[in-house]
Amino acid sequence: AAYAGLAPVTRRSGSSIRGEHPPRGGNKQLKRAFFLAAFAALADPINRAYYDRKRAEGKRHNAALICLARRRCDVLFAMLRHKTPYQPRPTAPVAA
């Protein structure tokens, strides 16, 4: 996530810690690919619920998309680490 520029960066100077912000560095092409994948993932109900939850926490649109992109990056890394194909979580049946 840090290589892609999706990990948050903390502003520090001496004993002052001023919070986190999105990094300006990282691989710009990879960051753009994850950002566009996150934007396309908003059509999926599970990803949309995650995005809406981040918005309810008070994050702005771009910050919520970066959170979703980071989540997609973590899933991709887990797939590469375990050498498994993508398996979406099954949705729970809705009780009527």
Any bridge partners for residue 35, and if so which? none
Q: Indicate whether 76 pLDDT > 90.
A: no
User: Per-residue pLDDT tens for 21-68?
Assistant: 666 777 788 888 888 999 999 998 989 999 999 999 998 898 899 889
pLDDT at 15: 72
Coil vs helix vs strand at 89: coil
Q: For the whole model, what pTM was predicted?
A: 0.72
Mean pLDDT throughout 68-79?
Answer: 87
The whole-number pLDDT of residue 51 equals 94
The answer to whether residue 16 scores a pLDDT higher than 70 is: no
CA dihedral 65→66→71→75, nearest 10 degrees, is 100
Q: What is the reported pLDDT for 67?
A: 87
- Which amino acid is residue 75, in one-letter code? V
